[in-house]
Chains A and B, each alone.
Chain A
Amino acid sequence: MLTTSLTRRVFLKSSGGVLAGTLALASGPIALLAPSRSWAMSLDHLSSHEGEVLLAMTRQIFPHSELEDAVYALTVKDQDRRAADSETLDLLQQGVAELDAAAGGDWLSLAETERLVQLEAMAGSAFFEQVRGPAIVTLYDNPLAYAHFGYQGSEGNAGYLQRGFNDLTWLPDPPKPAGGYLPNESV
């Protein structure tokens, strides 16, 4: 997850790379959760470049202009875990290599519109699905995404009865009996 700085352990890793960045918004809901503005994530199987391409690709597949890279990085971390399986690793590495080749070297150097054209052409391929499928879960199932999109997750555990389950005020309150009764309210 998010670390305050690049740790020693990250640099000592030989096989994998590292993803790092700085939160774009100093004051968004995610900034409140993060220990510092800069973040870094180590990779065990993928190289830094492969991680960066996958991050950019995921951003293009599920574009949220204001969602921090730090959240997209969680999907890359998940792919890196899956890449412990050598077939998956091959699929991801070859996919990135193909993207790079199509871009004449570095896919990241392309403009966003050109990237999109390439992705549309490869939609449905095994590589594309390997990136899209898990990301639909990972990208939206973490506390940072909850904070960004306004879902309160396990805060609901205690119940919203006293915490805004009916706090909508821009429409009229439904009349009784249709609108029902609070537990302690008599009919």
Chain B
Amino acid sequence: MAMTDKQHTYSHDDDSVVVIIGSGAGGGTLANELAQQGIDVVVLEAGKLHTRSDFLADEWASFAQLAWLDKRTTSGSFRLAQDFPNLPAWIVKSVGGTTVHWAGASLRFQPHEFQALTAYGAVADANLLDWPLSYADLAPYYDNAERRMGVTRTHDNKGLPGNNNFKVMHAGAEKLGYSCNTGHMAINSENRNGRAACQQRGFCFQGCKVGAKWSTLYTELPEAIATGHMELRAESHVARIEHDDTGRVTAVVYFDAEGNEQRQKARLVAVAGNSIETPRLLLNSASSRFPDGLANGSGQVGRNYMRHMTGSVYATFDEPVHMYRGTTMAGIISDESRHDPSRGFVGGYEMETLALGLPFMAAFLDPGAWGSRFTGALDQYDHMAGMWLVGEDMPRDTNRITLSDAAKDQYGLPVANVHYDDHPNDVAMREHGYRQGSELYRAVGARDIYEVPPYPSTHNLGTCRMSERAEDGVCNAYGQSHEIANLFISDGSQFTTSAAENPTLTIVSLAIRQAEHIGQLMREGAV
């Protein structure tokens, strides 16, 4: 039985419902938080409803099952535009969104990262800004999010056991004087809340069959349905948001599973389609009143697209490692996440264990490469350890999502073009990270070291950013758009800056805070 079989349903003309677009980290959490308050919610999700038993322990087959493969285009000098011109981002189109195949790393931002402009000062060719909220404002919501997601090493959840890949990282960290543990992971280290402990399958990126890893698919969404206040409509791709003469949004138009156009009325609309689709939808909703798209009076919709400074370091050893066994990413070093401009860049980065299966290793190690250096790495696949570098990248006006002039999707809607140029700060940070990662592995006897370029972006941020002043961004500290009171941004698009840490814990915390605020505004009749 599908979890939606017995759900409460709402009519298309019901204009009292809150419509949420997207069911991932932001949308799924918001839906549950609103439903728990007794607010009626309709979630429209473009992807299919899969269950845990559908998940495949096969990298390419799973990719075909879960990934967002609708067309996108790219431009700019970042290497992805050349390596994967139509796959700028590696994210999910499925109920549960990218929480279906995220790795689970759940780190809080550091207090200074909410004040990037103040802490770093102005950086040339970057559009730094302080968040309109502080660490202290978000701290109680971080607490709440960690509890519900069962984040290890917080609130009495013990740490996950380290796998072979972790052992190598840990040994290298000791040599370099770094501190390293199995991280803050939203993965059960023991049976908890009706979900099993991690079985160390190593297919976190393909969907966690045992449900040890938090995903809205089997936590927030069924909980919301159980309240009788939420209807989930899968395979419902939203095409545009409509508004009335007063400029309030009133309905969303979407294509259902059969490709038929439907219109759902709404009292309030929250957009959580991840940071490429969210601005695309606002831009595609342009009208005579809002010719540049909804909530875009500032011209900031789609700008300041961030994808994190990323890169990976893999190293081979004389003895076997079998890095693919066990949790994909459970080993974290935070020593380089501090802000210390003496390293030649502002902001910092995290070092996190990462393993890919053989098929993805071949695809991502050095896209386009061939010959014996390339194959020499794969010859040592089972003797290889690896880490991912993830750090703060600079928001830039010119790094942005725009609508393609020519390319259209299966519904005839202009697709998103993703433009990104690495900032010199990103480049300096990546080089530092490559160096430190290589040093770490050399310290434990690495044979060969491979500096691996960024994968299609797993973290997509900032395209509808929060700002104190309306002219600097798209929404306020609660994700409410500056221009339209009943239109909210509820995903990572809200991020004013990217910070060094993986974003999802912050997306979830913001969604919890936003839900509280929306409930209050609705009770007051303000929206």
B358 adjacent to A151 (CB under 8 Å): yes
Least CB distance from A17 to B in Å reads: 25
A21: Cβ under 8 A from any B Cβ: no
Q: Give Cα A149 to B321, complex, Å.
A: 13
> A140 contacts B325, CB within 8 Å?
no
In the complex, what residues of A have CB within 8 A of residue B363's CB?
136-137
Question: Which segment, of A4-12, A80-88, A174-182, faces chain B?
Answer: A174-182
- Known A-B contacts A151-B382, A156-B57, A160-B326; A181 and B159 likewise in contact (beta carbons under 8 Å): yes
**Are A181 and B158 within 8 A (Cβ)?**
yes
Which of A63, A123, A157 has the largest number of chain B CB atoms within 10 A? A157
The distance in angstroms between the C-alpha atoms of A76 and B164, with both chains bound, is: 36
Contact residue among A149, A156, A182 (Cβ-Cβ distance under 8 Å from B378)? A149
State which size class the interface on A falls in: 35 or more
Whether A166 touches B324, Cβ cut-off 8 Å, given contacts A154-B57, A159-B210, is no
A164 to B153, CA, bound (A): 24
A128-168 contacts to B, CB under 8 A, are 132, 136-137, 139-141, 145-146, 149-154, 156-161, 163-168
* Chain A residue at minimal CB-CB distance from B357: A151
Please determine whether A180 and B161 come into contact, CB atoms closer than 8 angstroms: yes
- In the complex, the answer to whether B322 meets A173 with C-beta atoms within 8 Å is no
Asked if residues B164 and A177 are in contact (CB atoms below 8 Å), the reply is no
Docked-complex contact A165 and B359, CB < 8 angstroms: no
Which of B127-135, B194-202, B244-252 contacts the other chain?
B194-202
Q: Which residues of A contact B444 (CB under 8 A)?
A: 171
Asked if A23 is at the interface of the complex by the 8 Å CB criterion, the answer is no
- With a CB–CB cut-off of 8 A, which chain B residues contact A104? none
B519 interfacial contact with A, CB 8 Å: no
The complex places the Cα of A154 from the Cα of B357 at a distance, in Å, of 10
Interchain CA distance A187-B179 in the complex, whole Å = 20
- Residue in A145, A146, A173 whose beta carbon sits within 8 Å of that of B167 in the complex: A173
Which residues of chain A are near B203, meaning CB under 8 Å? 156-157
- A165 lies within 8 A of B370 (CB): no
A155 to chain B, nearest CB (A): 8
Shortest distance from the beta carbon of B492 to any chain A beta carbon, whole Å: 28
Chain B 181-218 against A: per-residue CB contact (8 Å), 1 yes, 0 no? Answer: 11000000111000001111111000001100000000
Complex contact B362–A136 (CB within 8 A): yes
A contact patch SS? loop
Q: Per-position contact with A for B370-396: 1 when CB-CB < 8 Å, else 0?
A: 111011001101100000000000000
Q: In the bound complex, how far is the Cα of B326 from the Cα of A158, in angstroms?
A: 11
B162 engages A166 (CB within 8 Å): yes
* In the complex, B163 has a CB within 8 A of chain A: yes
Point out the residues of chain A lying under 8 angstroms from B321, CB to CB.
Answer: 168
Decide: A160 and B358 in contact? CB cutoff 8 A: no
Chain A residue with the shortest CB-CB distance to B370: A61
- Nearest CB to that of A186 among chain B residues? B158
**Chain A residues engaging chain B, CB cutoff 8 angstroms:** 61-64, 123, 132, 136-137, 139-141, 145-146, 149-154, 156-161, 163-168, 170-174, 177-185, 187
Known: A140-B378, A177-B159. 20 other contacts (CB 8 A): A137-B362, A140-B359, A141-B59, A141-B359, A141-B362, A150-B322, A153-B58, A157-B57, A160-B199, A160-B201, A161-B200, A165-B164, A165-B200, A165-B325, A165-B326, A167-B164, A174-B171, A179-B181, A181-B161, A183-B161
The residues of B with any CB-CB pair to A shorter than 8 Å are 57-60, 152-153, 158-164, 166-168, 170-171, 179-182, 189-191, 197-203, 209-210, 317, 319-322, 324-326, 330, 357-359, 361-363, 370-372, 374-375, 378-379, 381-382, 444
Instruction: Return 23 A-B CB contacts under 8 Å, by A number.
Output: A64-B378, A137-B60, A137-B362, A140-B361, A140-B362, A141-B59, A150-B322, A153-B358, A158-B201, A161-B200, A165-B326, A166-B167, A168-B167, A168-B168, A168-B320, A178-B170, A178-B180, A179-B161, A179-B170, A180-B161, A181-B159, A181-B189, A184-B190
